[in-house]
C-alpha cells in the first residue's frame, strides 16, 4: 500500500522509526492515567479465562507461574497485566523512557512486585522461546516493516505459548490516514515529523473544517479529545493498517497461525465483537458458513468495512503441539460443556490528586451480570448441573454459529468472564 493510503512517508527504516516513536511517545503520555486500577481476589481467574478464550476448557494452558511479555506496554498495560496475572512474572518493554517511568511509579504506589520494566525496541529484542504469553496491541503497525517486530514476538514464544496481537483495521483508519496525509501536504511535505509544529495546525484544521462529509463528522468527534488521545489518533509518525487476510498472511510469514478473535473492550463498546455474519439468503449463508475461519472473517471485514470489529486476535506458533480449534469447534464445545457462574470480588485502587493510587476500603462483587439481554437471560437461567445446551433449549435459543459464538464471547471469555467450565 502506498503512502497516500497509509501514513508511511517517514517509514525510511526500522532504526529511524524507532527514534521517531521514542520521541513521539516521550512527548505524549499514552494511554493517559486511568481513574483506578483493580485486582481480583481470585488470582487464577485471568489464566483460566485466557485458556477458555482458545478452547482449553479445563484451564491447562499456562503454567502455575507463567512468564508474560507485554511488548510496547505504554504507560499502563504492563501494570494492568501484572495485576491480572498475579502469579505470573511480567516483563513490560517500551521505547519511551517517560512511559516506563509513569508505569514504574504507578506500580510502586500499588505495591506490585511481579513486574519488570525495560526500555527496548521490539525490532532488536532477543528473547527466544521463553514466554508463555505475549501481549502486543497497537504497536507493530507503527514500524517501517511490521514483519520485523512480529517475527521477534513469534521467536519469544515458547512452543505452546499464546500471542495476543492487535493491529489497525484498514477500514477503521481510512479517515485518519487521509487526514495524516492531508496534514503532511499542508505542512509542505516535511522530511521528518515535528509534533510541536503539527499539533496546533492539526487542532486548527479539526476545529475549522466543515463540510457535509464523513471526514467532517469524524474530525468533529476528535475535537474534544485530550492531547494524548488526539495525537495518538491523528499524528502518529508511521502507521500501517491491515485486513484479516493481510494480517493472517503476515503472521504466517512469521511462523504463526491465527486462532480466534479476542473479546476486546473497544469492540464491545461498539456492539457485538463476533466476526460471523447472519446473511438473509439461506444459500449464501450456507456457502459463507462452510468457509474456513480466515476466509469467512475476511468476507466479514470487507462487507462490514468501517463497522467490522478491531483486528485483535490470538495466535500461536505453527509448530505448537496444541492443535488449533476452529470457531465452529469452540462453539460446539461451548454448547456441550457444563458451566458454573464466576463469583469473586475485586479490590479498587483510586487515583488521588497527587497522581498516586490508594486502596479503596470496600470490595466490589465481580463480575455481576451481563448487560446484554440474551446473555443475561442465559446467565440467570443456567442450570449448573447440566450441559449448556439444555439451558439454551429451555429458552428456545437459536444455536447457529453466529448466535452461539456471540454467547460464548459474551459469557465465557476474558472480556466477559461470567461462566467457567465446570471440572469434568
CATH number of 14-171+240-323: 3.40.50.150
Q: What is the pLDDT of residue 3?
A: 57
List phi, psi (to 5°) of 180.
Answer: -60, -40
Q: Tell me the C-alpha distance between 187 and 168, whole Å.
A: 25
Task: Say what angle helices 214-222 and 195-208 make with each other, to 10 degrees.
Answer: 120
The alpha carbons of the chain give a radius of gyration, in whole angstroms, of 22
CA 137-143-145 angle, to 5 degrees, is: 115
CA distances for 261 relative to 273, 312, 335, angstroms:
8, 6, 18
Strand, helix or coil for residue 236: coil
CA distances for 169 relative to 53, 246, 313, 359, angstroms:
21, 10, 12, 37
CB distance 110 to 83 below 8 Å: yes
CA 382-385-390 angle, to 5 degrees, is: 55
Q: What is the pLDDT of residue 223?
A: 93
N-terminal to C-terminal alpha carbon distance within the chain: 50
| Domain(s) of CATH 3.40.50.150: residues in the chain | 14-171+240-323
Q: What is the pLDDT of residue 423?
A: 85
* Tens digits of pLDDT across the chain (424 residues): 455 678 899 998 999 999 999 999 999 988 888 999 999 999 999 999 999 999 999 988 999 999 999 999 999 999 999 999 999 999 999 999 999 999 999 999 999 999 999 999 999 999 999 999 999 999 999 999 999 999 999 999 999 999 999 999 999 999 999 999 999 999 999 999 999 999 999 999 999 999 999 999 999 999 999 999 999 999 999 999 999 999 999 999 999 999 999 988 877 766 657 899 999 999 999 999 999 999 999 999 999 999 999 999 999 999 999 999 999 999 999 999 999 999 999 999 999 999 899 999 999 999 999 999 999 999 999 999 999 999 999 999 999 999 999 999 999 999 999 999 998 7
Q: What is the pLDDT of residue 264?
A: 85
Amino acid at each position: 500500500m502506498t503512502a497516500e493510503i497509509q501514513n508511511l512517508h517517514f517509514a525510511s527504516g526500522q532504526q529511524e522509526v524507532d527514534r521517531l516513536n521514542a520521541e513521539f511517545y516521550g512527548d505524549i503520555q499514552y494511554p493517559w492515567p486511568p481513574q483506578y486500577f483493580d485486582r481480583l481476589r481470585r488470582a487464577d481467574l485471568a489464566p483460566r479465562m485466557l485458556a477458555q478464550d482458545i478452547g482449553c476448557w479445563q484451564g491447562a494452558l499456562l503454567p502455575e507461574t507463567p512468564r508474560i511479555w507485554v511488548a510496547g506496554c505504554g504507560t499502563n498495560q504492563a501494570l494492568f497485566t501484572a495485576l491480572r496475572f498475579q502469579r505470573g512474572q511480567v516483563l513490560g518493554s517500551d521505547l519511551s523512557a517517560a512511559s516506563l517511568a509513569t508505569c514504574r511509579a504507578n506500580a510502586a504506589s500499588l505495591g506490585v512486585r511481579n513486574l519488570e520494566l525495560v526500555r527496548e525496541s521490539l525490532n532488536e529484542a532477543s528473547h527466544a522461546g521463553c514466554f508463555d504469553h505475549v501481549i502486543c496491541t497497537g504497536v507493530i503497525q507503527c514500524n517501517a516493516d511490521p514483519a520485523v517486530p512480529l517475527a521477534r514476538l513469534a521467536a519469544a514464544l515458547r512452543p505452546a505459548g499464546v500471542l495476543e496481537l492487535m493491529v489497525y483495521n484498514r477500514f477503521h483508519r481510512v479517515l485518519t490516514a487521509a487526514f495524516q496525509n492531508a496534514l503532511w501536504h499542508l505542512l509542505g511535505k516535511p522530511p521528518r515529523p515535528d509534533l510541536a509544529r503539527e499539533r496546533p495546525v492539526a487542532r486548527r484544521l479539526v476545529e475549522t473544517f466543515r463540510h457535509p462529509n464523513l471526514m467532517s463528522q469524524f474530525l468533529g468527534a476528535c475535537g474534544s479529545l485530550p492531547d494524548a488521545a488526539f495525537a495518538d489518533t491523528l499524528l502518529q509518525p508511521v502507521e500501517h493498517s491491515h485486513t484479516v487476510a493481510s494480517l493472517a498472511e503476515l503472521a504466517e510469514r512469521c511462523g504463526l497461525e491465527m486462532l480466534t478473535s479476542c473479546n476486546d473492550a473497544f469492540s464491545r463498546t461498539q456492539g457485538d465483537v463476533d466476526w460471523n455474519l447472519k446473511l438473509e439468503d439461506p444459500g449464501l449463508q450456507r456457502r459463507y458458513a462452510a468457509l474456513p475461519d480466515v476466509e469467512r472473517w475476511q468476507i466479514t471485514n470487507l462487507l462490514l468495512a468501517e463497522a467490522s470489529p478491531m483486528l485483535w486476535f490470538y495466535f500461536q506458533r505453527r509448530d505448537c503441539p496444541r492443535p488449533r480449534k476452529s470457531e465452529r469447534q469452540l462453539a460446539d464445545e461451548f454448547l456441550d460443556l457444563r458451566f458454573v457462574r464466576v463469583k469473586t470480588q475485586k479490590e479498587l485502587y483510586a487515583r488521588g490528586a497527587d497522581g498516586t493510587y490508594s486502596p479503596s476500603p470496600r470490595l466490589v462483587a465481580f463480575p455481576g451480570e451481563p448487560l446484554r439481554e440474551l446473555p443475561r437471560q442465559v446467565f440467570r437461567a443456567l442450570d449448573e448441573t447440566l450441559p449448556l445446551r439444555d439451558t439454551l433449549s429451555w429458552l428456545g435459543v437459536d444455536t447457529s454459529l453466529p448466535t452461539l459464538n456471540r454467547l460464548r464471547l459474551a459469557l465465557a471469555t476474558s472480556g466477559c468472564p461470567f461462566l467457567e467450565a465446570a471440572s469434568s
